[in-house]
Amino acid sequence: MTSGDTQWPRYQVFHQEGPDRPHVNSGSVHATDEEMALQNARDVFVRRPDCVSLWAVLATDIHSLTAEELEREGLPESKNEDGDAQTYQVFLKKTHSGSHGHVGAIQATSPAAALAAAVANYGSQGGIVWWVVSDTSIVRTDPGEIDSLFQSAMSKPYRSQSFYHTVTLMRRLREKKGIRE
């Protein structure tokens, strides 16, 4: 990809570290479709043995509300309340340095109504940014695929840079050759 306008669509990725843990935002990947989104999510974010499930959501399918917007403008207006209620998943960012974590699901008839319900239900925990996503917009890894997707990361030792003693080695080689650092 050489220019911005040919960039593939962006998906937000959420990973789960254990069966009883919430899905937490890991970052985003570009992908042409849902299958590739999960694949890229796995390749980019699952290098350590701590993932049992991945969700990906097209970034444009995320409806967002910040605490500042809430204070300045109040809750977004719901234009169409006549639709059928559907499930929205709610993600909340609680601290500036933290990531969006999944906090629960609510029923609502529109994204705006979902945001209002998210603030009402999950605002008391303190929030900086609320995200709501229609449940049908989330693509999830299949529990039956845990082995083929994540098992290989389990057997990989994670090593920090210092394990390889590269700095010491390079210093020794430089000294030997009389190269100044």
Partner 1 sequence: MSSDPDRSIAEYLIGIGDDELILAHRDSEWTGHAPILEEDIAFANIALDEMGHAAAWYRLAGELQGQSAETYPDELVFARKPDEFRNIQMVELPNGDWAFSLMRQYLFDSLETVRLKALVESDWDPLADTAAKIRPEELYHLRHTKAWVRRLGLGTEESNQRMQNALDELYPYALQPFSTSGNEFSALPDIKSLRQAWKAEIQPLLAESNLNIPSVTDSPVRSREEHTSYLPMLIEEMQMVARTETEAQW
**Residues 140, 55: Cα–Cα separation, whole Å:** 5
Nearer to partner 1, 21 or 30 (CB): 30
Radius of gyration of the chain (CA): 21
Minimum CB–partner distance for residue 136 and partner 1 (Å):
23
Report the chain's terminal Cα–Cα distance, integer Å. 38
Minimum CB–partner distance for residue 56 and partner 1 (Å):
12
Nearer to partner 1, 42 or 93 (CB): 42
Nearer to partner 1, 69 or 145 (CB): 145
**Residues 34, 13: Cα–Cα separation, whole Å:** 11
Give just the sign of the alpha carbon dihedral 19, 23, 28, 34: positive
Amino acid of residue 58:
L
SS3 110: coil
Minimum CB–partner distance for residue 3 and partner 1 (Å):
13
Nearer to partner 1, 82 or 147 (CB): 147
Minimum CB–partner distance for residue 81 and partner 1 (Å):
39
H/E element holding 108?
A: strand 101-108
Q: Which residues bind partner 1 (CB under 8 A)?
A: 1, 8, 29-32, 35-36, 39-40, 43-44, 47, 147-149, 151-152, 154-155, 165, 169, 173, 176
